[in-house]
């Protein structure tokens, strides 16, 4: 996915004086790195990010779908190493006319460090054969931090509405703690009194996303639910290839397209670069470079609206390079 990776770099460079002149450093992580070195996330990558970088853009990195001894997901590890506790995933459609309200406009705020992603699993022999067990971790601290981030985002939006997504009718202790802690953020902080709080069980939330997406504004969820909800929501706007995200902490931010590596189209030159470009815009906006971020988003909207240059996931016939050049042309 070399061209998809270049989309980050070329889109940012094209902004010119709207942002400080960027300097790029390439760092290794992922399945290919693991096959070469035996490590999916080299220590050098983490050290350079911590000591030399203001932000990062995470490219398309494959992970095996079955267990491989010694391999562990580098993105999960990076989130923990850099304390990137919030995964912010906007899902926004493109309006038929510039200036119109988009048909879908919501944000999924996903807790990024806990839940089943702590990866504490074991398999034992039990009376009924093999037993596989996983530990699910929900803490008050992590729930409060992600709740604070979600309320801050909701307060800045016109609707000022926050849906807490959970399954505490079944998981009354773990999801119950998440729900209660997030609900308690306004009282504890003395802020966000103008944000309307609503709740939705995760299964019915997915159903309502497809039936009536307009009811959602900001959705905050534990790690696993947030992952599933944001991928499902991508169908509302046509493709995972459009959906950006950032992994944000208090001191660092890392852009990451939601779509993953798409190994079935590797090397064909047809990967959609838009999620990468929008992730760059989202990262810049988080860093305070609003003008540059807005220019990127407007350019992407124009290309999608015109429909001349679209990759196959959007029922087009364009290559990655053609779509990228179309966006750069708008800039």
- Look at residues 103, 110, 87, 240 and name the one whose alpha carbon lies nearest to residue 165: 110
Is 85-244 the same fold as 1-83+249-331? yes
Per CATH, the number for 85-244 is 3.40.718.10
Which of 117, 192, 225, 289 is catalytic? The answer is: 117
**Which of 3.40.718.10, 1.10.10.10, 3.40.50.1860, 3.30.70.20 would CATH assign to domain 1-83+249-331?**
3.40.718.10
Structure tokens at 273: 């670069």
Give the active site residue among 50, 54, 119, 203: 203
Domain boundaries, the chain: 1-83+249-331, 85-244
Instruction: Give a three-class secondary structure readout of the chain.
Output: CHHHHHHHHHHHHCCHHHCCCCCCCCCCCCHHHHHHHCCCCCHHHHHHHHHHCCCEECCCCCCCCCCCCCCCCHHHHHHHHCCCCEEEEEEECCCCCCCCCCCCEEEEEEECCCEHHHCCEEEEEECCEEEEEECCECCHHHHHHHHHHHHHHHHCCCCCEEEEEECCCCCCCHHHHHHHHHHCHHHHHCCCCCCEEEEEEHHHHHHHHHHCHHHCCEEEECHHHHHHHHHHHHHHHCCHHHCCCEEECCCCEEECCCCCCCHHHCCCCCCCCHHHHHHHHHHHHHCCCHHHHHHHHHHHHHHHHHCCCCCHHHCCCCCHHHHHHHHHHHC
- CB–CB of 300/243 below 8 Å? no
- Catalytic residue status for 207: no
Catalytic-residue membership of 203 = yes
Residue 279: its pLDDT value, please?
94
Of 18, 231, 294, 325, catalytic: 231
Q: What is the CA radius of gyration of the chain?
A: 20
Q: Of 224, 222, 200, 223, which is closest to residue 213 (Cα–Cα)?
A: 200
pLDDT at 169: 96
N-to-C CA span, the chain = 23
pLDDT of residue 5: 54
Q: Tell me whether residue 250 is one of the annotated catalytic residues.
A: no
Catalytic residue chosen out of the listed positions 105, 175, 217, 227? 227
The half-sphere exposure of 221 on its side-chain side, counting CA atoms within 13 A, is 25
In tens digits, the chain (331 residues) has pLDDT values of 333 456 778 888 889 888 888 899 999 998 889 999 999 999 999 999 999 999 999 987 777 777 888 888 898 899 999 999 999 999 999 988 888 888 899 999 999 999 998 888 899 998 989 999 999 999 999 999 999 999 999 999 999 999 999 999 999 999 999 999 999 999 999 999 999 999 999 999 999 999 999 999 999 999 999 999 999 999 999 888 899 999 999 999 999 998 877 777 878 889 999 999 999 999 999 999 999 999 999 999 999 999 999 999 999 999 999 999 999 999 9
Q: Which is catalytic among the residues 105, 167, 175, 192?
A: 167
């Amino acid at each position: 996915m070399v061209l998809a990776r270049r989309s980050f770099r070329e889109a940012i460079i094209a902004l010119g004086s709207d942002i400080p002149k960027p300097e790029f450093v390439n760092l290794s992580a992922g399945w290919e790195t693991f096959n070469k070195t035996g490590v999916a996330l080299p220590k050098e990558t983490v050290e350079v990010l911590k000591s030399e970088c203001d932000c990062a853009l995470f490219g398309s990195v494959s992970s095996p779908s079955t267990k491989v001894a010694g391999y562990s997901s580098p993105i999960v590890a990076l989130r923990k190493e850099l304390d990137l506790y919030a995964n912010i995933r906007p899902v926004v459609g493109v309006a038929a006319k510039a200036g119109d309200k988009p048909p879908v406009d919501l944000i999924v705020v996903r807790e990024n460090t806990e839940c089943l992603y702590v990866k504490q699993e074991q398999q034992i022999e039990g009376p009924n054969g093999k037993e596989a067990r996983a530990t699910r971790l929900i803490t008050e601290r992590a729930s409060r931090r992600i709740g604070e981030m979600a309320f801050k985002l909701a307060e800045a939006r016109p609707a000022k509405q926050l849906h807490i997504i959970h399954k505490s009718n079944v998981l009354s202790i773990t999801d119950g703690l998440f729900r209660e802690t997030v609900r308690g953020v306004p009282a504890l902080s003395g802020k966000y009194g103008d944000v309307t709080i609503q709740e939705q069980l995760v299964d019915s939330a997915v159903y309502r996303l497809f039936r009536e997406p307009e009811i959602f504004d900001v959705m905050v969820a534990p790690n696993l639910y947030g992952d599933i909800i944001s991928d499902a929501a991508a169908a509302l706007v046509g493709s995972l290839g459009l959906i950006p995200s950032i992994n944000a902490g208090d001191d660092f931010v890392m852009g990451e397209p939601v779509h993953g590596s798409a190994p079935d189209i590797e090397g064909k030159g047809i990967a959609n670069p838009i999620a990468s470009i929008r992730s760059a815009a989202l990262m810049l906006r988080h860093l305070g470079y609003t003008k540059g971020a807005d220019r990127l988003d407007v350019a992407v909207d124009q290309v999608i609206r015109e429909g001349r240059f679209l990759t196959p996931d959007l029922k087009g016939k364009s290559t990655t390079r053609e779509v990228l050049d179309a966006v750069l042309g708008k800039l």
